[in-house]
Every structure is written in C-alpha cells, then in structure tokens.
Amino acid sequence: MKILHIIAQFPGLTGSGTYVNSLINEGYKRNHEQGLIAAIQDGLTYENDSLKYLNLVRFNTKEIPFNIVGMSDIMPYPSTTYRKLDENMLPVWMNAFEKAVLDALENFNPDIIISHHLWILTSLVCRLNLNKKVIGICHGTDLRQMHLNPKYMEYVIGGCKNLDLVLTLSSQQKFEVHDIYSISKEKIHVIGAGYNSEYFYPPDKKPSNRPIKIIYAGKLSNSKGVPYLIRAFTNLKDKYDVELLLAGNGTGEEKKRILEMADKNGVVYLGNLSQKELGEAFRRSHIFVLPSFYEGLGLVTIEALACGLHAVVTNHSGIKEYLGEEINKSGAIEYVDLPPMSSIDIISEDGEYIFVKSLEKAMENMIKKVLKGYNYFTAIDHDLKELSWERLFIKLINILQKL
C-alpha cells in the first residue's frame, strides 16, 4: 500500500508530529511505500530514510514570508497562529500546500492519503477531488481551533465532511467530530495513539529517591499549566526533598516568563529533548506531571508510564478512557480535575488557587508512594504494551483495508 501523510506543521517536536513519524516508521517496517508533505523553516531540520517521497513546504522565504502556522498558540518553534493569518497570507499558505499535494499525486501517486488535523489543510485536500481515499486524523487541537477561529468553520466543514474516514484519539472526540463536522458516526473510528517501546521502557534499577525527581515534558506555555506546576512544586519543596525538571520548548514571552519563574524557584530546565533523550530523562525520574488545560490524548503520559513513572495528569476523558480500567485502578496514575476556566485555555481568577492546591495534593500523594517504594509497572506492563505504535498501526491497516 502506498500511503501519503500530510501535516501542515513541522513533522516533529509536537504530539501530532510524533504521531506522523511513528506511523511512517511502523509503515516502513511492514514494507508500505510512504510519502510525506509537511512544513519546515530555518532552524529546523528533517530527514527520514523510511520515505519514498518527501515534500517540505518551506516557510520564511520570499514565497511564504512568515513562520509555520501552528495548531497551538504556543509552538516549540517560531510560529504564526491561524487567527493572525490575514487575507493576503492565507492564499499564499493554501497555494503552497495545494502545489505540494498535486506534485505528490503526480510523482508519488498514493493509494491512501492520511491528513492530520481536521482543519484547513485537510479540507483543502478533500476539495481537490483527487480521486483518492482520504483519511483525516483528529488530534484535539483542531476541535480547539474550531472554537478559537469560527470564521474558518464553514470552509473546514465543507471539505472535511467528504472524508472517506475519520480517526480520533478517543470516543469523546468521536462524538465531538460527529456533532461539529456533521460526519456520520459510521465513518469515525477511535484509534488512539501509541508509544515507542524502543525509547520508552522502565529502568533496570529505580533511581535513588533523594531527591525525588518530578518531570514535565511538553510545550512551555500557560495553557499547558506549567506556571501552576511550578507554584505547586514550590509549595512542596520545603516539605520534601524534591526536584522539578522541565523538558520541552516554547516561544515568545510565555517561554521567557516560565523560564524566569523556573530559575527563581530552583527548577531545572532540560531543554528540548529527542525521543531517546526523553526516555532517558524519564528513567532517571520518579513522577511525571502533565497539568494541561486541553489535550488530544496526552501521548507523553503513556510514554512516561511505560518508563515506570507514577503520573499526575489533568482529567481529560481521552487519556483516562484510552489507558483502560486496569491501569487507572492500579494507583500508577492520579487525575486532577480541570479548574474553572474563563475561556477555552485560560483559568478563571478563582480557579488558579484551586488548581494549584489540587496539583499539590496529587503530587504529594505520589511523593508518599515513591517514598514507600510502591512500584506498579509489573502489574500494568501487559496493558501498556497493547498501546504501542506497533499495535496501533496494525489496527490502522485493518481499518484501511476495509475501505
């Protein structure tokens, strides 16, 4: 099977970027010919020997004189937001990707097109009437964009409703896609996400619990809850011998303020890590925390659990459903309710104190478990292996073969 993957962002450094690369790598292992259309700009590099076709739309050039347009307001590289695309920029962006898609059709001629994010590019691909099966994957940020940028809603729905198939990360997303995009439930399949067992596995020996290492991995942004994590950690560090590590990247004033806050409170910044480096950092740590206000699935949570960490995450239905009852009941993970919000990703003033205290309590519970020597990994090992990229790709191919 010849598969063309399409994403409007850089194919890496984000959850959806990891998803794209993981599908490509699993497809290569099973002898599928694959191509990729994605975005790139100065400061970013991408190589993948698994591909038969690669077309990277280059931003910050004479032809496209602005940064890559990101699905989140804060990306791990300089970016433009969809709300800032003006009437001159949008046609340039659309023409560049349309040209890339038509080139792929001529020079790669895929059997199947997998387009990531149910957003403008996926709608564009559907509107080109390529006489190819087109599958869209919802990553959650696309649903968020529908709320943030309703001016694009008519265009997005008009194209995406013609998708041959939609894959979602959770059943909650399935219902939202059905309601928002008016796509029949029969065309929507819950497929989830996975983790790479080559990089994410438990250590041979647990590290010393002095200090207890708490780690966050993701974008350095307010909407990921990082400032509130630092505040919760600060409240705990006088009671316990603990250390907080931040892995990831961001841009602009939010990143600057977060790093200043981290430095002031003795938080260690690890920088932006590769998948291999992140797995190593996880195996040196004890507790993973993901306090984000929105999350498609929270792939990094699965990766952390696979490394034997305890986890504290905000209560998004996607990850809770996907992990399943046995892992959720194991004690390896604790959920923190989302605080009252004044908008889709901004905490209300009253909610800040509540959220910090909730994080603090959940983190303290996990600290006590680490000190008592609790280790749940053996009990959940089998269930986690069912969530690998290998298992997910097999599920994907079985779905595609029925089209």
Same-domain status, 228 and 128: no
* pLDDT tens-place string over residues 3-51: 999 999 999 888 899 899 999 999 999 999 999 999 999 999 999 999 9
110 belongs to a structural domain: yes
Q: Is residue 207 domain-resident?
A: no
> Residue 87: which domain range?
2-194+388-400
* Radius of gyration in angstroms for the set of CA atoms belonging to the chain, rounded to a whole number: 21
Q: Which amino acid is at 299?
A: L
| 190 and 230 assigned to the same domain | no
Domain-located, residue 336: yes
Residue 403, exposed/middle/buried by CB under 10 A (0-12, 13-18, 19+)? exposed
Regarding whether 123 and 31 lie in a shared domain, the answer is yes
Q: Are 6 and 114 in contact (CB under 8 A)?
A: yes
DSSP state of 209: -
Task: Find the DSSP H helices in 67-207.
Answer: 89-107, 120-127, 141-148, 153-160, 171-181
Strand order of the sheet with strand 33-40? 53-58, 33-40, 2-6, 112-116, 133-137, 165-168, 188-190
Does 344 lie in the same domain as 305?
yes
- The count of C-alpha atoms lying within 13 angstroms of the C-alpha of 364, restricted to the half-sphere facing its C-beta, is 14
Asked if the structure places residue 201 within a domain, the reply is no
Whole-number pLDDT of residue 139? 93
Classify 324 in phi/psi space as left (phi over 0), alpha (psi -120 to 50) or beta: left
Q: Indicate if 239 and 106 belong to the same structural domain.
A: no
Residue 340 predicted with pLDDT over 70: yes
DSSP H stretches of helix in 30-140: 89-107, 120-127
Are residues 146 and 288 part of one domain? no
Residue 279 resides in a domain: yes
Indicate whether 217 and 295 sit together in one domain. yes
Query: What is the share, in percent, of the chain residues with pLDDT greater than 90?
Result: 74
Residue 222 belongs to some domain of the structure? yes
User: Domain containing 230 — which CATH number?
Assistant: 3.40.50.2000
In a domain, 174, yes or no: yes
> What is the tally of structural domains in the chain?
2
**Within a domain: 206:** no
Q: Is residue 125 within 8 Å of residue 6, measured between CB atoms?
A: yes
Supply 99's token pair: 């040209």
392 & 348 share domain = no
What does the pLDDT look like over 303-331, one tens digit per residue?
A: 999 999 999 999 876 788 888 888 888 88
- 179: burial class by Cβ within 10 Å (0-12, 13-18, 19+)? exposed
Say if residue 187 is in the same domain as residue 237.
no
Residues 226 and 185 in one domain: no
Higher local confidence (pLDDT), 21 or 386: 21
> Do 187 and 227 lie in a common domain?
no
Q: How far is residue 295's CA from residue 223's CA, in Å, rounded to a whole number?
A: 10
Do 290 and 357 lie in one domain? The reply is yes
Residue 379 clears pLDDT 70, i.e. is over it? no
81-84 contacts: CB < 8 A, separation 24 or more? 82/120, 82/145, 82/148, 82/149, 82/152, 83/148, 83/149
Assess contact for 198 and 303: CB atoms under 8 A. no
